[in-house]
Amino acid sequence: MEKIPTIKEIAKRLKVSPSTVSRALHGHPSIGLVTTMRVNKVASELNYERNQTAVFFKQRKTLTIGVIVPDFSDAFFSSALSGIEDYASKRNYNVFIGQSLENPDKEKRILETMKTHRLDGIIISISKNTTNYEVFEQLKKYNIPVVFFDRIPGMEDIHYSVCNLQSGMLQAIDCLIEKGHRSIGLINGPSQLAASKERLDAYKQGLDKYQIAVNTDLIVSSDLSSAQNTYAMRRLLSLADKPTAIITFNDYVARDAIKLLKNYNLAPNHDISFVSFANSPIWSFMDSAPMASIEQFPQKQGIKAAEILFKIIDDRISEASLTPVFHHAVFDSSMVSHRGRTNV
């Protein structure tokens, strides 16, 4: 085990002071050319490499951001992570990760670890069970900026990057109405999710625009398990007046619904048209895709969150801002048609 060369070591060999070596290594203009060259020579001979932990310690900056999501094996989040990593690495920043697995305790532990590590900033999509926001207040005191994305807490004064689901829902309804549908069903998610409320509100608003009364029979919910997805679909199919189109909470719900539809020997997008949310890559592998899916741009959301975070970090350097500004990025979801792709 060879020992790792330090600035001191170089200084000793050259019989100069450590500070001279440090400055030479940084190309400081006040150091003479000869000295600089001699230092660089010895440094490369010894394979010197600076000890980043010492620099972090001294500078109180870690050049590291943290990313916390519920689960990296979920395509939505891993795609966001991929975008964040790419952005951060271009800024020469490093990325620390943690996954909450939807467990608020684990989430809290991760946040605390990141705090003690003095990370320069955190990007987080919170667990769906998180209700205690105290940690985030503490983070503020430690001056560690937090940017939320996709899943944001019900707090005032936060930075976030989210996707507005309303726009996609309204587009979907416009499109369905244009195709002559008047009876549009909704398979929504669990009511406690903010995302469910958002979809429902936009659904009602969309129908209202065309003076279509909301028929509560056409609105069913699921906890997003396959069993309940199927059950919800069955309820819609059992109606005397079946909907001619159905909007589902997400692509997985749509998949289960379409599967059931086929068991009834009905053709998706022919007998009943489908529009779902997420636009996940699964449809490119499927024979029966919904007519359209509403894209939520996970990677874009992640990158936007990173942009916000770095803006905060940059601003902090230039001035201690007296009036805090909270950055919000809300971009529109957008309906993506799958019609050319399906073979129904």
Partner DNA sequence: TTGTACGCGTTATCAG
Partner DNA sequence: CTGATAACGCGTACAA
Residues binding a second copy (CB under 8 A):
1-2, 4, 47, 49-54, 56-57, 60, 62, 64, 71-73, 75, 78-79, 81-82, 85-86, 89, 94-99, 101, 106, 110, 113, 115-118, 138, 141-143, 255, 282, 285-288, 299, 320
- Cα→Cα distances 302→81, 94, 134, 196, 280, Å: 7, 15, 24, 21, 16
Cβ at position 250, least distance to DNA in Å: 45
- The verdict on 330 binding DNA (CB under 7 A) reads no
Nearest approach, Cβ of 117 to a second copy (angstroms)? 5
| Residues 53-82: x where in contact with DNA by CB under 7 A, - otherwise, as a string | -xx-xxxx----------------------
Dist CA 277 CA 292 (whole Å): 8
Contact status: 40 vs DNA (CB under 7 A): no
Nearest approach, Cβ of 118 to a second copy (angstroms)? 5
Q: How far is the CB of 188 from a second copy (least distance, A)?
A: 21
DSSP bridge partners of 148: 124, 160
Q: By rule CB under 7 A, what count of residues binds DNA?
A: 29
Nearer to DNA, 20 or 125 (CB): 20
The distance from CA 72 to its chain's CA centroid, rounded to whole angstroms, is: 11
- Full strand arrangement of the beta sheet holding 273-278: 219-221, 184-188, 245-248, 273-278, 292-295, 334-337
4 binds DNA (CB under 7 A): yes
Considering the complex, what minimum distance in angstroms separates the CB of residue 204 from a second copy?
30
Instruction: Decide if residue 35 touches DNA (CB under 7 A).
Output: yes
Out of 8, 61, 179, 182, point to the residue binding DNA (CB under 7 A).
Answer: 8
CB of 108 to a second copy, least distance (A): 13
CB of 321 to DNA, least distance (A): 22
**In terms of Cα–Cα distance, which of 202, 196, 165 is closest to 335?**
165
Q: Which is nearer to DNA, 4 or 75 (CB)?
A: 4
Integer Cα distance of 298 and 317 in angstroms: 29
Which of a second copy, DNA, none does 30 bind, CB closer than 5 to 8 A by kind? DNA
Closest to a second copy by CB, 50 or 235: 50
CB 147 within 8 Å of CB 308 = yes
Sheet strands (E) in the chain: 64-69, 94-99, 121-124, 146-149, 159-164, 184-188, 219-221, 245-248, 273-278, 292-295, 328-332, 334-337
Distance CA 273, CA 267 (A): 9
CB of 85 to DNA, least distance (A): 25
What does the per-residue mask of binding to DNA show for 15-34, with x meaning CB under 7 A?
xxxxxx-xx-xx--xxxx-x
Nearest CA to 42 out of 71, 7, 66 is that of: 7
Selection from DNA, a second copy, none that 179 binds (CB < 5 to 8 A by kind) is none
Work out whether 51 is an interface residue with DNA (CB under 7 A): yes
Rounded CA separation 206/335 (Å): 14
- The one of DNA, a second copy, none whose footprint includes residue 318, by CB under 5 to 8 A per kind, is none
DSSP string, 287-315: SS--SEEEE--HHHHHHHHHHHHHHHHHH
Binding site for DNA (CB under 7 A): 4, 6-8, 15-20, 22-23, 25-26, 29-32, 34-36, 50-51, 54-55, 57-60
